Amino acid sequence: MGVDKGATVVVHEHGSQVGESRWGLNARQMTFMLQHHNVIEAAYTSGDAEALRNLAASQAYKTLFTEMGWDEAFDR
């Protein structure tokens, strides 16, 4: 799974996302994904699902994404 270089990223500073028009990550969630970009990209490239499971199980992920699953967070 590659990165779509033409993709638009929607970042919300505060509040929850309601409806498709506000579907995205807040600033803290986006920062987390950017900080772990190399690990995420390497895991998808090599098919290392364990690395992704470990990242999603981390306390930092759980604090920022609460009940949001990995697939949903990544798709946003």
* Domain locations in the chain as residue ranges: 21-75
What pTM value is reported for the model? 0.68
Q: pLDDT tens, 13-51?
A: 444 444 444 578 999 999 999 999 999 999 999 999 999
How many whole angstroms separate alpha carbon 18 and alpha carbon 35? 25
Q: pLDDT tens, 5-20?
A: 554 445 444 444 444 4
